[in-house]
């Protein structure tokens, strides 16, 4: 999958005629790609536009600009060109996992109906086939066949996320967007779900876009990591590289904020203040008001995402990345 | 233990909830103490009774189903005289004087615990005027002071803003300002940073720690995040289904966790430095109506023995830890 120049602007309307006075630039020019069987992590603070990227890819939001090319059986298809009606047949190639396991399952449907609904929508198999498929998958994700006749309220948070995973897998997708699937779960359950996602990836050759704000979780599951801030991608690199050797000051600050899991430890606070208003982003590099390394050029010129010579699949959007010697996570 | 420095001494506290399906033993024989200026961490999975413990210290456990069955909560406001909170009338004047004034609490979700239709100033002033005999103008001065203390810039203007105008981190600062407005002796923080970003989390934790030092307040930190425990606390209580499974100095616990449950919690954290698969705890927290006969953790424990299935272990001393596991008997 290749994403090019993706933009999503939400209009801000005001006044009697409901005129558009400004735009919230939720995603402001984002380029990346995901290979088959790969997991790409997407991290950033809340309000950085992570979820919007995920939703634009599957056209739950109509992107304002840019293209999303998706490999459907060997042909690259630009999703933003596909008419609305044609999307249905393409949607069976991707699925989503959501953060809130309490609101993403319909509490009035039995599990069997929740899990087989995607199959029914895409007219796949007879009713018996669908139920057999559901049985098989329920066992695969660690639930029992009897659970199919229960309702979502009878399950714990971790089990609900397993139901969510079963639903996502039912139509055998190629690509799953995981939007903070473990943030609401306890650590011990988190580990179970992460391990399950990795096992399923090996088994079904899945690609994941893994959206999260917990850098420990992202490191564990991802091959490459993208760091996002205020609708822009600041850095992309392989997950080992980015933690040992961050090239963007924002990445350094995020890494410094990770807890060290030691008694009596403290964290360095490198970022002051909070994320600016995305309808009125700062000029130049959007980080400069919060960045300790900012120089004049950062206040005036927007840095491009440049690939780094000598390091494969790594890019950074910072004017000063060559001069700076940033600290990784030790 | 030196009685002088003791602030809270909880002994064999049992809080049960009587509901239709049966009795849930939310807190089942808990004993711990907090000294003046000390910080205690309570860690465990959801549903283990952490929050219920905190609520019962202020007699805020759910009514009418919740009930303190037995046990004492000795509270030493100054020196040797003490009050047994567990014996007070929940609606009485005595506990109302303690709540918010001497023991204060901050909650996980700052948006849910602030009232959206009152300005933050009104909400801080409410807390101050409930407990202090001051007029409106003085209370307002105190409220501005409280906001300044939690490092909110331009508090004179901010005081008139409403919760929706503030970011998550700012709201949590306001919650802390309300909690600390009456200089409480004990601050209970119930997952104060779970809903926040890592960068904001680091700031809020630092703020709580700084203020705790400044004011000499004791802290009870409830969380499921061992990282937060490591940074914030002197002593840790690990809870599992209403019971203490391990209690130790934070440093000791991090160097050498003893109980299989504590060890499993440490191992299931995805750490930056790790390679290979995470080890997870198999199964899930048992159904509170159908607790195992022996040790509560036995069905999920890798080191379970025969005796674990038959009898509940007591808390015993081992290596400076108090641990409830047959391996150490």
| Band of pLDDT at residue B53, cut at 50, 70 and 90 | very high
Do A160 and A221 belong to one domain?
no
**Pairwise CB contact (< 8 Å): A191 & B281:** yes
DSSP codes, A203-217: HHT-EEEEE-S-HHH
The residue from A150, A171, A192 where one domain ends is A171
Least confident of A6-15, A116-125, B42-51: A6-15
Task: Say what the pLDDT of residue B3 is.
Answer: 54
Closest chain B residue to the Cα of A253, Cα to Cα: B199
User: Average pLDDT, stretch B168-178?
Assistant: 89
Per-residue pLDDT reduced to its tens digit, B200-231:
888 889 999 999 999 999 999 999 888 899 99
Task: Say what the pLDDT of residue A13 is.
Answer: 81
User: Average pLDDT, stretch B259-277?
Assistant: 81
Q: Which residue has the higher pLDDT, B258 or A62?
A: B258
- The residue whose two tokens read 């490459």 is A224
Task: Say what the pLDDT of residue A72 is.
Answer: 81
Distance CA B38, CA A215 (A): 30
Do A88 and A211 belong to one domain?
yes
Chain A residue numbers with beta carbons less than 8 Å from the beta carbon of B279 are 191
Task: Say what the pLDDT of residue A325 is.
Answer: 84
Distance CA A76, CA B243 (A): 57
Per-residue pLDDT reduced to its tens digit, B105-151:
998 877 788 999 999 999 999 999 999 899 999 999 999 999 998 98
Do A188 and A224 belong to one domain?
yes
Q: Which of A188, A215, A219 sits opposite B268 (nearest CB)?
A: A188
Among A40-44, A288-292, B61-65, the range of highest mean pLDDT: A40-44
Do A151 and A206 belong to one domain?
no
Do A210 and A272 belong to one domain?
yes
pLDDT at B49 over 80: yes
Do A27 and A78 belong to one domain?
yes
Distance CA A70, CA A86 (A): 14
pLDDT at B31 over 90: yes
Distance CA A105, CA A119 (A): 16
Query: Can you point out the beta strands (E) in B137-266?
Result: 186-190, 218-223, 235-240, 243-249
Is A264 touching B (CB cutoff 8 A)?
Answer: yes
Q: Chain B: which residues have CB within 8 Å of chain A?
A: 45-46, 167-170, 197-203, 205-206, 224-228, 230-231, 250-251, 253-255, 264-266, 268-272, 274, 277-282, 284-285
Per-residue pLDDT reduced to its tens digit, A128-151:
999 999 999 999 998 888 899 999
Chain B residue numbers with beta carbons less than 8 Å from the beta carbon of A45 are 197-200
pLDDT at B173 over 80: yes
Is A259 touching B (CB cutoff 8 A)?
Answer: yes
Is A325 touching B (CB cutoff 8 A)?
Answer: no
Do A212 and A165 belong to one domain?
no
Do A242 and A302 belong to one domain?
yes
Per-residue pLDDT reduced to its tens digit, A148-201:
999 999 888 888 999 999 999 999 999 999 998 888 788 888 888 999 999 999
Q: Is B305 a domain residue?
A: yes
Structural domain count, chain A: 2
Q: Is A325 a domain residue?
A: no
| Band of pLDDT at residue B274, cut at 50, 70 and 90 | low
| Band of pLDDT at residue B273, cut at 50, 70 and 90 | low
Distance CA A97, CA A89 (A): 19
Q: How many CB atoms lie within 10 A of CB B117?
A: 7
CATH of the domain at A65: 3.40.50.300
Interface with A, mutate which of B197, B265, B285 (most A CBs under 10 A): B197
Distance CA B8, CA A164 (A): 44
3-state secondary structure of A292: coil
Q: Is A98 a domain residue?
A: no
Interface with B, mutate which of A100, A187, A217 (most B CBs under 10 A): A187
Q: Is B146 a domain residue?
A: no
Closest chain A residue to the Cα of B225, Cα to Cα: A187
Q: Is A101 a domain residue?
A: no
Q: Is B329 a domain residue?
A: no
**Pairwise CB contact (< 8 Å): B46 & A157:** yes
pLDDT at B4 over 90: no
**Pairwise CB contact (< 8 Å): B206 & A267:** yes
Nearest to A32 by CA among A20, A46, A42, A22: A42
Contact between B68 and B60 under an 8 Å Cβ cutoff? The reply is no
The residue from A125, A154, A171 where one domain ends is A171
Per-residue pLDDT reduced to its tens digit, A263-272:
777 787 777 7
Selected residues 107-136 of chain A with any CB under 8 Å from a CB in chain B: none
Do A36 and A87 belong to one domain?
yes
Task: Say what the pLDDT of residue B320 is.
Answer: 87
Task: Say what the pLDDT of residue A131 is.
Answer: 93
Task: Say what the pLDDT of residue B261 is.
Answer: 93
Nearest to B169 by CA among B196, B202, B142, B208: B196
Q: ipTM > 0.85?
A: no
Q: Is B303 a domain residue?
A: yes
Do A193 and A301 belong to one domain?
yes
Q: Which residues pair with A33 in a beta bridge?
A: A2
Do A177 and A66 belong to one domain?
yes
pLDDT at B25 over 70: yes
Contact between B16 and B67 under an 8 Å Cβ cutoff? The reply is yes
Burial (CB count <10 Å: 0-12, 13-18, 19+), residue A250: buried
The residue segments making up the domain with residue B315 are: 256-270+278-320
| Cis peptide upstream of residue A108 (ω within 30 degrees of 0) | no
Q: Is A328 a domain residue?
A: no
Torsion over CA: A176, A182, A188, A189 (sign): negative
The residue segments making up the domain with residue A259 are: 2-93+173-316
Interface with A, mutate which of B199, B263, B278, B288 (most A CBs under 10 A): B199
Instruction: Quote the tokens at residue B117.
Output: 């239709």
Structural domain count, chain B: 1
Chain B residue numbers with beta carbons less than 8 Å from the beta carbon of A198 are 277
Q: Is B136 a domain residue?
A: no
Is A157 touching B (CB cutoff 8 A)?
Answer: yes
Task: Say what the pLDDT of residue B275 is.
Answer: 66
Q: Is A166 a domain residue?
A: yes
3-state secondary structure of B181: coil
Per-residue pLDDT reduced to its tens digit, B143-163:
999 999 898 888 998 999 999
Q: Is B204 a domain residue?
A: no
Q: Is A16 a domain residue?
A: yes
Distance CA A220, CA A207 (A): 15
Name the strands in the sheet holding A39-43, side by side, starting at the edge strand that comes first in the sequence: A94-97, A175-179, A207-211, A39-43, A224-229, A232-238, A315-316, A306-307
Distance CA A249, CA A234 (A): 9
**Pairwise CB contact (< 8 Å): A186 & B271:** no
Distance CA B125, CA B123 (A): 5
Distance CA A180, CA A99 (A): 5
Q: Is A277 a domain residue?
A: yes
Do A67 and A184 belong to one domain?
yes
Task: Say what the pLDDT of residue A170 is.
Answer: 92
Torsion over CA: A94, A95, A97, A100 (sign): positive
Q: Is A322 a domain residue?
A: no
Chain A residue numbers with beta carbons less than 8 Å from the beta carbon of B201 are 257
**Pairwise CB contact (< 8 Å): B199 & A192:** no
């Amino acid at each position: 999958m290749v994403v090019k120049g993706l933009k999503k602007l939400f209009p801000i309307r005001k006044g009697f005629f409901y005129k558009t006075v400004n735009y919230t630039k939720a995603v402001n020019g984002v380029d990346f790609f995901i290979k088959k069987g790969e997991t790409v992590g997407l991290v950033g603070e809340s309000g950085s536009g992570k979820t919007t990227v995920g939703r634009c890819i599957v056209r739950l939001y109509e992107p304002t600009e840019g293209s999303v090319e998706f490999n459907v059986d060997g042909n690259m298809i630009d999703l933003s060109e596909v008419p609305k009606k044609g999307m249905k047949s393409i949607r069976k190639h991707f699925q989503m996992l959501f953060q809130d396991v309490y609101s993403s399952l319909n509490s009035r449907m039995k599990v069997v109906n929740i899990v087989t609904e995607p199959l029914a929508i895409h007219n796949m198999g007879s009713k018996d086939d669908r139920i057999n498929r559901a049985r098989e998958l329920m066992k695969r994700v660690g639930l029992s066949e009897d659970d199919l006749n229960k309702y979502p309220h009878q399950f714990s948070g971790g089990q609900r996320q397993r139901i969510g995973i079963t639903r996502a897998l039912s139509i055998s997708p190629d690509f799953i967007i995981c939007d903070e699937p473990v943030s609401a779960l306890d650590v011990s359950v988190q580990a179970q779900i992460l391990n399950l996602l990795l096992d399923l990836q090996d088994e079904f050759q899945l690609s994941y876009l893994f959206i999260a704000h917990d850098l420990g979780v992202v490191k564990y599951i991802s091959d490459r990591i993208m760091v996002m801030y205020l609708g822009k991608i600041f850095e992309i690199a392989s997950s080992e590289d980015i933690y040992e050797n961050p090239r963007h000051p924002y990445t350094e600050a995020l890494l410094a904020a990770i807890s060290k899991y030691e008694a009596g430890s403290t964290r360095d606070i490198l970022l002051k203040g909070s994320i600016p208003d995305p309808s009125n982003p700062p000029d130049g590099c959007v980080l400069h008001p919060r960045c300790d390394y900012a120089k004049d050029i950062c206040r005036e010129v927007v840095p491009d995402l440049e690939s780094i010579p000598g390091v494969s699949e790594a890019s950074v959007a910072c004017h000063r990345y060559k001069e700076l010697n940033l600290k990784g996570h030790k | 233990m030196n009685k002088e420095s003791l602030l809270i001494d909880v002994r064999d506290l049992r809080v049960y909830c009587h509901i239709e399906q049966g009795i849930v033993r939310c807190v089942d024989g808990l004993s711990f103490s907090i000294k003046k200026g000390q910080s205690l961490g309570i860690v465990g999975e959801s549903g283990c009774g952490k929050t219920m413990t905190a609520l019962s210290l202020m007699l805020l456990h759910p009514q009418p189903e919740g009930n303190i069955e037995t046990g004492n909560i000795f509270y030493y406001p100054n020196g040797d005289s003490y009050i047994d909170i567990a014996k007070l009338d929940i609606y009485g004047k005595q506990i109302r004087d303690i709540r918010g004034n001497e023991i204060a609490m901050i909650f996980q979700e700052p948006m849910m615990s602030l009232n959206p239709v009152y300005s933050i100033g009104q909400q801080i002033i409410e807390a101050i005027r409930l407990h202090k005999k001051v007029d409106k103008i003085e209370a307002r001065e105190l409220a501005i002071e409280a906001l300044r203390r939690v490092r909110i810039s331009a508090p004179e203007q901010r005081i008139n803003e409403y919760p929706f105008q503030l970011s998550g981190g700012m709201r949590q600062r306001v919650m802390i300002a309300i909690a600390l407005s009456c200089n409480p002796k004990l601050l209970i923080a119930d997952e104060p940073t779970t809903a926040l970003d890592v960068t904001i989390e680091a700031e809020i934790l630092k703020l709580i720690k700084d203020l705790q030092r400044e004011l000499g307040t004791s802290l009870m930190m409830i969380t499921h995040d061992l990282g937060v425990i490591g940074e914030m606390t002197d002593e840790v209580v690990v809870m599992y289904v209403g019971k203490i499974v391990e209690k130790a100095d934070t440093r000791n616990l991090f160097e050498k966790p003893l109980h299989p449950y504590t060890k499993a919690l440490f191992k299931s954290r995805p750490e930056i430095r790790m390679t290979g698969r995470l080890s997870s705890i198999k199964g899930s927290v048992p159904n509170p109506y159908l607790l195992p006969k022996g040790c509560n953790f036995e069905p999920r424990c890798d080191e379970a023995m025969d005796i674990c299935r038959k009898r509940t272990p007591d808390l015993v001393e081992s290596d400076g830890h108090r641990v409830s596991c047959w391996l150490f008997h």
